[in-house]
Structure 1
Amino acid sequence: MTAAQRSASFRRLLPDGRFDTIERPLAVEMPVAVEIDGIGYAVMMATPDALEDFATGFCLAERLIDRADHLLDIDAYQAERGMLLRLALAPEVRGRVLERVRHRVSESSCGLCGIENLEQALRPLPIVAPPLRPVAHDAVFRALDLLRGHQPLGRETGAVHAAALCDADGTIRLVREDIGRHNAFDKLAGAMARAGEGWGDGFALTTARLSYELVEKAALSLCHTLVAISAPTSLAVERAAEAGVRIIALARPDAALEALSPSD
């Protein structure tokens, strides 16, 4: 068993009324508290592996840092009920934590004072440059076919999401897994940033629902093509069009849906 797995005993119920007892691996889910420069910033429910990748990707997605070397130190501590990530930012970006915390806290219930926070929730995204060659349809289906072979925790437990970096031909180069779909993408983006990897002409493939948060994480990591096996939300389609991110949803072995831009 790894840090991402545990096991438990279950009574397996059978249609004919019989039952037996089996041991089954489980994906670990626990609170991961993120503390940045001494400020308690967030608590995420996550799978406690690849935490340095997660910390980097999380800070990039939160716009607290612009590149991996802005994160000077990552210390992970085992607490009684979870993990504590203590992060230190470079001096030139340190003030962003206080600014983000200020926007996330509303002390009034008047209904109008949340406008500033709503504007923060839908901040402008970077415009992502298109690849030299658009991702071909056959590359999407090839990556779909290969993905399960790159999901060891998913195969064992059936309880985690995956996010993958795929080459332009559909070859899978890197995968991160987590019980949280956002966390899986943060881990992938963080691993790429720490390794100095870009998307090039490749694309992202995720097992998650295609929510606006995943579109935003893709845009902030300058990912031009995001493929998901589930459906998009209305806001995901809108935000993708704003940022120039090509989204391909409901990607299954027999078909996939590509969102059309307003100019199509």
Structure 2
Amino acid sequence: MQPDDLHAPLRSCAVDRWPQDGQTTDVLAAEVPVALEFNGISHAVMLATPQDLEAFALGFALTEGILDSAAQCYGIEVEPVQTDAVQGLAVKLDIAASCFQRLKSQRRSLAGNTGCGLCGVESLAALGPSLQVMPPQPWLAGLTVETLLRASRALPDHQPLNRACGALHAAAWVSPEGELLAVMEDVGRHNALDKLLGQRARDSRLQEPGFVFMTSRASHELIRKCVRMGVGAMAAISAPTDFAVDVAARSGLQLWGLVRGQRAVRYTR
């Protein structure tokens, strides 16, 4: 694979297809090792779709508490990396000294993958401090099922990569009226959300009214990321777990699941 190919989000593959006879080609989602480096120190290696990596790295840094604001990131560079075993990409962030000092004091080994949940956590205590309780956002009182279903119907048309290969998640930022304002795709649901939140933070638009829509289940990790960034609501096409509902309830996040077709479920515990 050539270095330029590392940035291609889709790859061709020879396949035998039935009932069609003979060999043909198909399109697969690219999944590339992405090393995240802060001030020259490698912190985590994730498997991700190699697109919108600057937004991904910034979103990861914010949602994992490495940075408190986008202004504490002074620059981001993406470079190819070649080892004996694998080709990948390194995303190098230049961050504020105070954030880097905190990161060094909290460092743990992380090896991420597309099913990553609590990667690298060594004990229950390592889950971190209690989640903040978000202040009420008045506009959420008017969030209706019709708004959610409007976003659900529109989302497939904003997923060009998934339409080509059928293997990517999407994270969307949706207005209070149900309009899709931004959509990010990735093989990992966590990565897609980090890309979305990173983009919104970079553009100073996280404080605008809106909610997150995910083409996955609403896992507790996704909820934690949203809460850290002050996002008041999340909707997803699949059902959450009991733990996810509990995390949402304790933090004040409005949680919807099974938003598809003509149905939606709000979890109110």
TM-score by length of 1: 0.89
Pairing 1:85-124 to 2, within 5 Å after superposition: 85-101=91-107, 117-124=123-130
SS in 1 for 2:134: coil
Report the alpha carbon displacement of residue 71 of structure 1 after superposing the two structures with TM: 1.1
Say how many residue pairs are matched: 249
**Which range moved further: 183-192 or 65-74?**
65-74
> Which ranges of structure 2 fall in alignment gaps of 5 or more residues?
111-119
Report the alpha carbon displacement of residue 154 of structure 1 after superposing the two structures with TM: 0.9
**Cα 1:244/1:149, change in 2 over 3 Å:** same
Q: Who is 1:242 aligned against?
A: 250
Task: Give 2:173's match in structure 1, choosing from 143, 158, 165.
Answer: 165
Pairing 1:130-169 to 2, within 5 Å after superposition: 130-134=136-140, 135-169=143-177
Q: For 1:159, give the aligned amino acid.
A: A
Contact 1:70–1:90, Cα closer than 8 Å, also in 2: yes
Question: Does residue 253 of structure 1 match 2:258?
Answer: no
Q: For 1:61, give the aligned amino acid.
A: T
Percent of matched pairs sharing the same residue: 37
Question: Does residue 225 of structure 1 match 2:233?
Answer: yes
SS in 1 for 2:129: coil
Task: Give 1:65's match in structure 2, choosing from 58, 64, 67.
Answer: 67
Question: Does residue 36 of structure 1 match 2:38?
Answer: yes
Q: For 2:60, give the aligned amino acid.
A: F
Give me the whole-angstrom Cα distance separating, in 2, the residues matched to 1:144 and 1:213: 22
Question: Does residue 188 of structure 1 match 2:196?
Answer: yes
Task: Give 1:79's match in structure 2, choosing from 78, 81, 86.
Answer: 81
SS in 1 for 2:172: strand
Q: Who is 1:4 aligned against?
A: 9
Question: Does residue 213 of structure 1 match 2:221?
Answer: yes
Deviations for 1:119-154, whole angstroms, at most 9, x for unmatched residues? Answer: 231422222233222212111000000000111111
Contact 1:250–1:257, Cα closer than 8 Å, also in 2: yes
Q: Who is 1:109 aligned against?
A: none
Q: Who is 2:113 aligned against?
A: none
Q: Who is 1:201 aligned against?
A: 209
Q: Who is 1:128 aligned against?
A: 134
Contact 2:59–2:194, Cα closer than 8 Å, also in 1: yes
Contact 1:103–1:120, Cα closer than 8 Å, also in 2: no
Deviations for 1:86-136, whole angstroms, at most 9, x for unmatched residues? Answer: 1121122221211221597xxxxxxxxx99842231422222233222212
RMSD, aligned CA:
2.0
Q: For 2:40, give the aligned amino acid.
A: G
Contact 2:44–2:109, Cα closer than 8 Å, also in 1: no
Give me the whole-angstrom Cα distance separating, in 2, the residues matched to 1:120 and 1:201: 32
Contact 1:136–1:168, Cα closer than 8 Å, also in 2: no
